[in-house]
Structure 1
Amino acid sequence: MATRGIFKEVKLPEQKCYENGLVFPMVLSPNTNNTSDLNVFEEAIKAEKPWLESHLKERGVILFRGFKLESPSDFNDVVEAFGFPELVYLGGRAPRTNVVGRVFTANESPPDETIPFHHEMSYMLNYPSKVFFFCDEEPESGGETPILLSPILYDKMKEKHPKFVAKLEQHGVTYGGVVGNEDNLSHGNGNSWKSIYMTNDKKVAEERAKKQGSRLEWMENGVKEITGPLPAIKVLHEESQKKSWFNNLTNSYLSRKKGIFFESTLGNGEGAPDDVMEDCLRIMEQECVVIPWKKGDVMLINNLMVMHARKPLIKPPRRVLAALCK
């Protein structure tokens, strides 16, 4: 198990170990008693940043546990210590509120609802490369944030549906959705076009949408967004040609079943067959890792490599905050 500076790798029963020896996710705890001082943690991050980044690239997720962060401000200081540029949430569909500095609420949809697996903002040209989560209030029960290695999903989908995956790689995905004039907090994609593009001016919204690879078609009750085609599969490492399942197809499939119009098609206009999407959802559930939150946990996710989701909250409270990085 890896040890560096004040960081000591530990094992949790929920982790997965793959044939190549990869343990997912990486979990780091302090190997010193001097953890009550947040500055010690921050300085260790700065000193060991290349080592931490190398493991993030290899493992996909690092969960920092036991470092005694007490507040959103503490979390903001930790995010700042990493020095990653901030990604402004322009174009994002999920309702969020700024808490402090670079820290926002995570998706504000009803906490008893599931949020399906997704790469953050994969339906846009500009998406974060890294996502931080922080557990400010530990759930009594439920409310976990499952994580999933997309290269594993890609390999299994290619094995089960090689022709469909070949089409995905050739044509990419086009995303389309109807967005309302007012925010709707009843579901996870509830931002209005005004919130998505941070303006009440339709012309400004059109300009900002264009920079995100989208075009807008105005309707009486809102606007239809059309984006793409965008790549549906990402090559993570040129040398190994390791690939990641980087698309929002299953999320759109589930939204459509709920009567929420967020349609995804292949770039050639073909739809994704229902049986393929159901198989994809089954693989996601089989391969994901679900670690219950503990107060003060910080989870750093490689957004190109790992999907995340949210399980329904069974017993409150729960407060998980987020920060997005370029």
Structure 2
Amino acid sequence: MADQFLEVQIPQQRTYNSIPFPSVLSPNPTTSAVPCSVSHLTETIKTQKRFLDSLLHKTGAVLFRGFDVKTAEDFNEVVEAFGYEEFPYVGGRAPRTNVVGRVFTSNESPPDQKIGFHHEMAQAPEPPSELFFFCEVAPKSGGETPIVLSHIVYERIRHKYPEFVEKLEKHGLIYSLLLQEDDDLSSPIGRGWKSTFSTQDKSVAEERAAKLGIKLEWMEDSGVKRITGPVPAIKYDKSRHRRIWFTSMVDWEERGA
């Protein structure tokens, strides 16, 4: 592996087909006097991009531990170092605030609200291909963001509910949700239509929604019903030659969408 990183183990790791999930990288103190610094990390990411992309493709997730990334500004520098195309957060459901650059708050609903397993913007025709997570202030308890391998989820659900999965593969999903005018911070999917489409103009919202494959039906109370689909619920990962579960259906159903 690249000698700028040390691949380490943590108790929460799992192993599938002899591959650790996630892979965990820490600083290698022998390669630099300041191996933990943000500047050293960003330069290493740029020079070792091919290695990191290969590791991500192999394991599905990469966790960086032990680096001096303390602020949203630090995190943004790390994200930018990867050079991925930016994905604007237009059409998403979670109430979020842009902190700096590409960094947004994760979800501003109360901590007692449960967020079900889902794929980011699975209802969009072209969802983001990579996601980054960062914790600036760790809670005293709870607050974890669990991650799972989608092909494992697909295999287990197909084994237990074969007929249901067959219908999903054949027909896909239609997502329907009522949006109020302004954000409802009591709900994890309570983003209002104004912030969802970054406008206060209904005609502009309709144009932006159409580009995302979303149909809007305006309500008398200034709210709107957004309808998307059908979109695939099961996708085929061509690079890894396997099917993956790719939906937000559990979360939408729980919220009465």
- Same-fold call, TM cutoff 0.5: yes
1:215–1:226 Cα contact (<8 Å) kept: yes
**Cα deviations across residues 227-272 of structure 1 (Å, max 9, x unaligned)?**
000011111126x63011001111122112xxxxx1xxxxxxxxxx
What's the secondary structure of 2:111's corresponding residue? coil
What's the secondary structure of 2:117's corresponding residue? strand
Gap runs ≥5 in structure 2: none
In the aligned structure 2, how far is the partner of 1:70 from the partner of 1:198? 29
In the aligned structure 1, how far is the partner of 2:196 from the partner of 2:243? 30
1:42–1:81 Cα contact (<8 Å) kept: yes
Aligned counterpart, 1:242: 242
1:239-278 equivalences in 2 (<5 Å):
241-256=241-256, 262=257
Aligned counterpart, 1:164: 164
Shift of 1:187: 0.8
Residue type of the alignment partner of 1:6 = Q
In the aligned structure 2, how far is the partner of 1:241 from the partner of 1:31? 34
Residue type of the alignment partner of 1:211 = K
Aligned counterpart, 2:15: 17
Shift of 1:183: 1.1
Q: Please report the TM-score for the alignment, with normalisation by the length of structure 2.
A: 0.95
Q: Does 1:30 align with 2:31?
A: no
1:35–1:68 Cα contact (<8 Å) kept: no
If asked which structure has higher relative contact order (CA below 8 Å, sep 6+), I would say: 1
**Cα deviations across residues 273-300 of structure 1 (Å, max 9, x unaligned)?**
xxxxxxxxxxxxxxxxxxxxxxxxxxxx
Q: Please report the TM-score for the alignment, with normalisation by the length of structure 1.
A: 0.75
Q: Does 1:223 align with 2:224?
A: yes
Shift of 1:34: 2.3
What's the secondary structure of 1:92's corresponding residue? coil
> What's the RMSD between the two structures over aligned residues?
1.3
In the aligned structure 2, how far is the partner of 1:125 from the partner of 1:17? 32
2:37–2:69 Cα contact (<8 Å) kept: no
**Cα deviations across residues 182-225 of structure 1 (Å, max 9, x unaligned)?**
21000111111111111111111111111111111111121111
What's the secondary structure of 1:141's corresponding residue? coil
1:5–1:48 Cα contact (<8 Å) kept: no
Q: Which runs of 4+ in 1 moved over 4 A?
A: none
1:28–1:62 Cα contact (<8 Å) kept: yes
What's the secondary structure of 2:93's corresponding residue? coil
Aligned counterpart, 1:174: 174
Aligned counterpart, 2:106: 106
What's the secondary structure of 2:139's corresponding residue? coil
1:5–1:44 Cα contact (<8 Å) kept: no
**Number of residue pairs the alignment of both structures matches:** 253
Residue type of the alignment partner of 2:207 = E
The answer to which structure has the higher strand fraction is 1
Q: Does 1:197 align with 2:203?
A: no
What's the secondary structure of 1:156's corresponding residue? helix
Aligned counterpart, 1:293: none
Aligned counterpart, 1:131: 131
2:233–2:245 Cα contact (<8 Å) kept: yes
Residue type of the alignment partner of 1:17 = T
Aligned counterpart, 2:44: 44
What's the secondary structure of 1:253's corresponding residue? helix
Aligned counterpart, 1:77: 77
Residue type of the alignment partner of 1:131 = L
Identical counterparts, % of pairs: 51
Gap runs ≥5 in structure 1: 257-261, 263-326
Aligned counterpart, 1:7: 5
2:76–2:102 Cα contact (<8 Å) kept: yes
Residue type of the alignment partner of 2:64 = F
